[in-house]
Amino acid sequence: MSQDRTPRPAAVVVLAAGEGTRMRSATPKVLHAVGGRTLVSHAVAAAEQLHPEHLVVVVGHGRDAVQAHLAASAPSVQTAVQDEQRGTGHAVQCALAELPELTGTVVVTYGDVPLLTGETLRALVAARADEGNAVTVLTASLADPGGYGRVLRDADGSVVAIVEEKDATAEQRAVREINSGIYAFDIAALRDGLARITTDNSQGELYLTDVLGLARSDGKRVGALALDDRWQTEGVNDRVQLAALHRELNRRTVEHWMRAGVTVIDPATTWVDVDVTLEPDVLLEPNVLLRGATRVAGGAQVGPNCTLVDTSVGAGAVLTNTTSLGADVGPEATVGPYTYLRPGTRLGRGAKVGGFVEMKAAVVGDGSKVPHLSYVGDAEIGAGVNIGAATVFVNYDGVEKHRIVVGDHARVGSDTMLIAPVTIGDGAYTAAGSVITQDVPPGAMAVARGKQRNVEGWVERRRAGSPAAAAAAAARSRDGGGGPEAASGAAGGAGTDQADDTAYDDQGRPDR
């Protein structure tokens, strides 16, 4: 059956109430993430591709946290609470109790199978409808089926029963086809079976699998859809399985983008979240992590050693050794190495942000440069600007943040402190080493620094016997000069500030 003809299910039920004790975590199992999404969000995303009339997630352990997460990420999803963990059959009963009378198909899946796809769920729904089954179960064949319920088939291929491993005979345990726990039910057969199942088993629980046996004993057909891709049925029970599924999901994600025209130098060290978007001719160097809703346009080069989170990268941009959180890097911009872009940063076309630069809530105009060792926060920088090395945008007064504006084609000298709020006009300059506290008019040169004074002979007087004093004396001897007193006297005619008898400390401050 084609995708367009797949019947719309009446409901999808996602079972996500388990405690997940083997995760050994204060976080509910289904809120652990792979590929940038929580496990339960993967389950919801796959279910939503069926466009069901109702989508219900059954919660239990950590339900407040799970419900809050779903309310934020998938507000259209309903939740049902399973207060007491009495088995999968009981969990589905809890879900159906939240729904009106239904007709058609109900899909039951799990909140910890992140590689399950919407395409597979559509195939499962279509198989149930095409074959007229009371229920169709998704199965896979494993080399080591230990821990899974076994699927027992009749000679015609229909399913006779599903036996949990703890209740299986030795012969039944030898069966390699396993139950994924994912089903498409006819709602009438499901409701009838749930009303009749019992806790007569080793676990004392209500097994959803018993509904299949009851349907079979009533003369109804139970079918199976066998998957070649076992990963889609793999669930998460501990951190080891979580890591294995994350690795496999990432492998598939990276392979998808390579087939779509992205060059990945080293897939083994490249991690791409499922909500990332990449255009053809993007180049990803080794040790790149692309997370969240990051978007990279064609011709851009990212890496090596970049971590981009919720970042937009324009066409032809180049980023090296960069960490970026919520930034917008314009076309043909260059960033790095060792650069930190924080939320709200926007770089214009051809802008440059160089080594050891940090930016936050900063807008940088087309062609502007912040090449070295600077902090730029809460700023608006025009086009064609050059920010000298070691410039600091001093945006915080200890209580509030203030904004700094630098006009088009301005030049900010190295080691300038810009004290917010302040505006540097179009075409203005600031002298290196200045502390700018007042607005600079367009085209002006701002100089805000103390007059230099040379205290001649200070080292030989105050640091006698040191290597510095010896070097100074040797230099003076080579130059034909006299001792410190002579140098001090000669300097007086040059108009420099003199030490005379004043003593100064290492920072040039008068000793008290």
- Tell me: the pLDDT tens digits for 387-435? 999 999 999 999 999 999 999 999 999 999 999 999 999 999 999 999 9
Long-range CB contacts (< 8 A, 24+ apart) of 172-175? 173/145, 175/145, 175/150, 175/151
Give me the residue label for tokens 């770089």. 347
pLDDT over 80 at 480, yes or no:
no
Catalytic annotation present for 61: no
**84: confidence class by pLDDT, cuts 50, 70, 90:** confident
Measured from the Cβ of residue 79, the count of other Cβ atoms closer than 10 Å reads: 19
Does residue 484 register a pLDDT over 70?
Answer: no
185 with 211: CB under 8 angstroms? yes
Q: Are the beta carbons of 225 and 215 closer than 8 angstroms?
A: no
Report the pLDDT value the prediction gives residue 499, as an integer from 0 to 100: 41
**Cβ neighbours of residue 37 under 8 Å, at least 6 residues apart?**
45, 114, 273, 274, 275
CB 28 within 8 A of CB 62: yes
pLDDT at 483: 56
Question: So what's the architecture of 7-135+181-222 in CATH?
Answer: Alpha-Beta Complex (3.90)
Token pair of 126, please?
A: 């279509």
What does pTM read for this prediction? 0.88
Decide if pLDDT at 508 tops 70.
no
Q: What is the DSSP letter of 145?
A: -
pLDDT at 248 over 70: yes
Contacts of 344 (CB under 8 A, 6+ apart): 326, 327, 360, 361, 362
Residue pair 443/427 in contact (Cβ under 8 Å)? The answer is: yes
- Beta-bridge mates of residue 339: 322
Q: Among 3-12, 327-336, 348-357, 445-454, name the one with the lowest average pLDDT.
A: 3-12
Q: Please report, for the chain, the start and end positions of each structural domain, with discontinuous segments joined by +.
A: 7-135+181-222, 260-446, 452-512
Average pLDDT over residues 73-101: 95
Cα gap 176→173, rounded to integer Å? 8
Do residues 332 and 350 touch, judged by C-beta distance below 8 A?
yes
Would you list the DSSP string of 341-405? Answer: E-TT-EE-TT-EEEET-EEEEEEE-TT-EEEES-EEEEEEE-TT-EEPTT-EEE-B-SS-B--EE
pLDDT at 379: 98
Q: How many CB atoms lie within 10 A of CB 211?
A: 29
CATH of segment(s) 260-446: 2.160.10.10
**Of 177 and 482, the one with more pLDDT:** 177
pLDDT at 142 over 80: yes
Please give the Cα distance from 260 to 267 (Å, whole number). 14
Q: Quick check: 294 and 311 in contact, CB under 8 A?
A: yes
Does 438 have pLDDT greater than 70? yes
Classify residue 153 as left (phi > 0), alpha (psi -120 to 50) or beta: beta
Residue 496: what pLDDT? 40
Looking at residue 252, its pLDDT comes to: 98
Alpha helices in 16-141 (DSSP H): 39-48, 63-73, 88-96, 118-131
Q: Which sign does the torsion angle of CA 95, 96, 97, 98 carry? A: positive
What is the pLDDT, as a whole number, of residue 154?
Answer: 86
Q: pLDDT > 90: what percent of the chain?
A: 81
Please tell me the predicted confidence (pLDDT) of residue 482: 58
DSSP letter at 430 equals: E
Q: What pLDDT digit, counting tens, does each position of 439-475 carry?
A: 999 999 999 998 889 999 999 999 999 999 999 999 9
Mean pLDDT of the chain: 92
Beta-bridge partners for 15: 58, 110
Confidence of residue 507 (pLDDT cuts 50, 70, 90): very low
In this model, does residue 5 exceed pLDDT 80?
no
Q: Which of the following is catalytic: 69, 372, 402, 409?
A: 372
Do residues 130 and 154 lie in contact, with contact meaning Cβ atoms separated by under 8 Å? no
